[in-house]
Amino acid sequence: MNKKEPTLDSAYIYRGKVVTLRKDTVLLPNGRKGEREIVEHPGAVAVVPVTAEGKIIFVKQYRKPLEQETIEIPAGKLDRGEGPEKCALRELQEEIGFLGKLEYKFSYFTTPGFSDEIMHLFIARDLEQSYLACDEDEFIEKLEVSPSEALHMIMKGEIKDAKTIIGIFTFLQEGHRQ
C-alpha angle 143-147-151 in degrees, rounded to nearest 5: 100
Our finding on whether 119 is near a copy of itself (CB under 8 A) is yes
Instruction: Tell me phi and psi for residue 96, to 5 degrees.
Output: -125, 0
**136 catalytic residue (yes or no):** yes
Our finding on whether 115 is near a copy of itself (CB under 8 A) is yes
Give the three-state DSSP class for 22. Answer: strand
Nearest distance in Å: CB 22, a copy of itself: 9
User: Toward a copy of itself, which CB reaches closer, 58 or 127?
Assistant: 58
Binding mask 29-58 for a copy of itself (x = CB under 8 A): xx----xxxxx-x--x--------------
Is 159:69 a contact under the CB 8 Å cutoff?
Answer: no
Contact stretch for a copy of itself (CB under 8 A) within 9-17, 50-58, 93-101, 126-134? 9-17
Our finding on whether 107 is near a copy of itself (CB under 8 A) is yes
CA-CA distance, 139 to 65, in Å (whole number)?
Answer: 16
Quote the radius of gyration of the chain (alpha carbons, Å): 19
Our finding on whether 99 is near a copy of itself (CB under 8 A) is no
Query: From the candidates 35, 136, 138, 144, which is the catalytic residue?
Result: 136
Residue 153 region by backbone torsions, left for phi larger than 0, else alpha for psi between -120 and 50, else beta: alpha
Nearest distance in Å: CB 135, a copy of itself: 12
Give the three-state DSSP class for 40. Answer: strand
Residues in contact with a copy of itself, total (CB under 8 A)? Answer: 67
Q: Which residues does the annotation mark as catalytic?
A: 136
